[in-house]
Structures are given as structure tokens and as C-alpha cells.
Structure 1
Amino acid sequence: MVLPQSTCNLMSAKNKQVAQPEIQKPRWLDAFLRNKFFEQCKDHPERKNELNKYCIDCDQAVCQYCISLGHQDHITLKVYRHVYKDVVSIGTMDKYIDCSEIQRYKSNKRLVISLNPLPHSGSTSNNEASCNTCTRKLNEPNLYRYCSISCKVKAISLEPNDLVPAVIPDQNHNAPQEGPDIPTQERPEANAELPRPRKRRRKGTPHRAPFF
């Protein structure tokens, strides 16, 4: 039995769709990147009470009072502010996605990565390496390819192949935790000579006093 050409083309298209690798990423990642942080919480409009956390279980930005009133047992991400950018700690984010090749910044002795790129005008010069997605200038182009998390996610969506690192990290993949350098204490050498106890010399042979 010979199938019509249209049927063969349809089956071939379905096979290609099945053969394409599925892009895996956390279900909450897109909503997390779209959220606006550091705005005043509408439920708790106290002074300087900002939405600087994200509840993964509820898919929403929350403040410190929101967490204490209904999100105590939920998984939350702390969002920081660095040079007008919303950033997150690598040590935290690397548990959920592969943060390799994303431009890193240092903020208050903490390594962070940006959620989204900053708006920029114009394009970079030929001598300047830029982000593979948004063409924003990279500080260290020899180490990184993307300026933010969203740029890497977009690149993976456009190029689902082995050339782009996976969004989901390996189970055994852990981010290096960097902390302040603690100077090591100086220890005395094992073979160093210890000071010898000082000997007291006897003044002389004792003599008993006469009885009479």
C-alpha cells in the first residue's frame, strides 16, 4: 500500500517534532523573570517595605511580612539590587538552573547574576564582545556569553542543542560558595625547642642545729 505524499509529509513532520529535545526548566522561572521587584507591597504598605523576595511555591513576589504571615514553609528566593539591576545570588540560583556562562557581578562580597538585561542604546563596537542574545556589552567576554538569566533562557529556546548549556543543572552540580578570606593562625613548629624549666641550685648541704 502506497501512502499519499501529503500523509508522508505529515508523518515526517511529526517524527521531527518528536526527535527535537525537550527544553527543561523550572515551571516558575518565566514568571520569576517577568516579576517586578522592589515595589511597595500592596498588602503591607509600611514604609520601605519592598517586594524583594519570590515565593517559588506561590509564583509571586512577596515582602518580609508576607513570608511571616503565610509563606513560612515555602521556598523563597531573595532578590537584591545592584546598579539598577535585579540580581540573585549564584549560590542560591545555581540549585535550580545552570548559571554557567552568565555574567557575574560582585555585590557586598556576594557573587550575583542579573535577572534581565539593562536597556541600552546603540550597539557595541567591533572590538567589544557582547551578549549572544541582546548584544549588551560583557565585562568579561572570555568567560561569559550572556548578560542575564533571561538572555540564556532565550538562547536555549532558540537553539535547543548541545552548544548551549542545559537550563537544569546536574543533580551533583553545586555552585562554589565564596566567603571572606579567613587568615590562618600561625602555629609553632613541631620541632621547635620549648623553653626548659629553670633549675634552682641548692645553696649548700644542710646541717642540723646542735641540741645543746
Structure 2
Amino acid sequence: MVMSQKAVVVFSGGQDSTTCLFWALKQFAEVVAVTFDYQQRHQLEIDVAKNIAKELSVKHHILDMSLLNQLAPNALTRTNIPIEQTEGELPSTFVPGRNLLFLTFASIIAKQIGAKHIVTGVCETDFSGYPDCRDVFIKSCNVTINLAMDDQFVIHTPLMWLNKAETWKLADELGAFQFVREKTLTCYNGIIADGCGECPACKLRKRGLEEYLQQKGGDV
């Protein structure tokens, strides 16, 4: 625990980043959230992030990343591209370079406010095949950012080795289970809380929730 220090949390308002935000609030004296507006499929994501940050009294930055939308058309930035995954290929929701850009800009904010810690909710266990969610990428990115800025940031990934059931368990241990379940937006179809139940993100979230509640002996 480094309660005397500051952290920047990469924050989308989804299950994973909200769990990480609660984790950071337990770990650091001061926490700042940063959300990236890349004209994603559902602008509601930005509103959800704003509302959560406000409710938790967390200072919140929203950065314009619309150039990413122009450069990387995909299912998260175009409503006319279906959400799908073909075996052996990256999902249509993969946004090339997204986490690289997000972590770079989060570190720039961190540099400005004197924070040495950056927190992100990427996960290699349930990561849909995204290459920029892998531990090896995060470690490489951390080294590169430190070299580029001549600083010593630490990128934290509290969920890296957790499956979705374990992520729900962590939220529960942080006293945030109901908050995360009721107030976050994970659904690719833009439905808050338990979502549509049909898109890949909802299926993953629901499967993890059911597994955790079964382990705990509760009801979905």
C-alpha cells in the first residue's frame, strides 16, 4: 500500500475499470480518473464514467481521442460494423493501438500532476484475444514510457491474472459489488448494469457473475 502517493486510473465506466478505481482508492492517497472519448459506439459510456467519478468524488479528465476513431474503424467505433469474432482472428471490437495510446496519455497526465502510478483494468485471462491486454505488452509499455519521459512510473494491472468470477470477488472484497453490478456499463449494445445479455461482453460478465455467486452460495 502506498497511501502517500497519487495514481491515475484509466477509466471507462465499465466493470473492470470501475473495480480498478475502487482498488486504487484503497491503495493511494489521491486518485484521478481519465476517460478517453474516441467517439465509441456508445457515448453513454462517457456519461457513465462521469457519473461514477462524481459519485465517488474522484477528479475526472475526459480527453478527446477522436483521431483514433478516424484511424481505426471497427465495431466499437462504427455502428455499421457488426460485433463478431471469427476463430483465429481478432474480434471486430479490437481497436488497434488503443491501450498504447491510453497508457501514453495517462502517463502524460500523471507527469503533470506528480503521480507515479497508473492503473488499468486490462486482463490476460479474459481478454478476448486483444494483444494490448497482455502482461508482456504492459511491461514493455511501462519501460518505454519511463524511458520516453525519464521518469519512474509504475503501471498497475490488478485484474491481469483474474478471470471474471475473480474480478467480481475482488469488487465484493472492496465493498463495491452492488455498485459495480448496478452502475457500470460493459454492454456493447449500451445497456447499463446487467446489459443485453447477448453481446460477447455481456456473456463474459454474466458467466463470471454466475460462477462467483455459485461459489458464494447466492442468487444471480
Q: Which has the larger radius of gyration?
A: 1
Structure (1/2) with the larger helix percentage: 2
Q: Shorter chain as normaliser: what TM range?
A: under 0.3
TM-score normalized with structure 1 length = 0.19
Considering Cα pairs closer than 8 Å and 6+ residues apart, tell me whether 1 or 2 has the greater RCO. Answer: 2
